[in-house]
Structure 1
């Protein structure tokens, strides 16, 4: 008789990409818009109100050769 269980975990990474072409980089206004959009979607997904703080690592920022990527991940167990 088996004494284990199995599960499938699906992780979805939501990305908001801001162009950052050399030599000028990304415009702060565009980074701000993407950041606000990412935060709204994060709050909506996790059911957080505007006045509730986000965890420090809720959104992450990564740089590429010609872009800044703001992202968060969601996880679902089946």
Structure 2
């Protein structure tokens, strides 16, 4: 369909020699589509609390919080 302008991270991601499931996970992470409580809230799913379940900071569980700001560091569980 012709050339398109894509972010350089996507070019690096798809050319990397990682497993396909890792590429798909990071693609979802870059597009803010990783299943978090924030995503469920945006999809109108009712939960008792949208706070992070890993820490007690009373912070909303977003993909950014889970992978960068959470003191528990979600990367340790992956």
Shared fold, TM over 0.5:
no
TM-score tier, shorter chain, comes to under 0.3
Q: Which protein has the larger Cα radius of gyration, Structure 1 or Structure 2? A: 1
Give the alignment's TM-score, normalised by structure 2. 0.23
Give the alignment's TM-score, normalised by structure 1. 0.23
Higher normalized contact order (CA 8 Å, seq sep 6+, divided by chain length):
1
Whichever structure has more strand as a proportion of its residues is 1
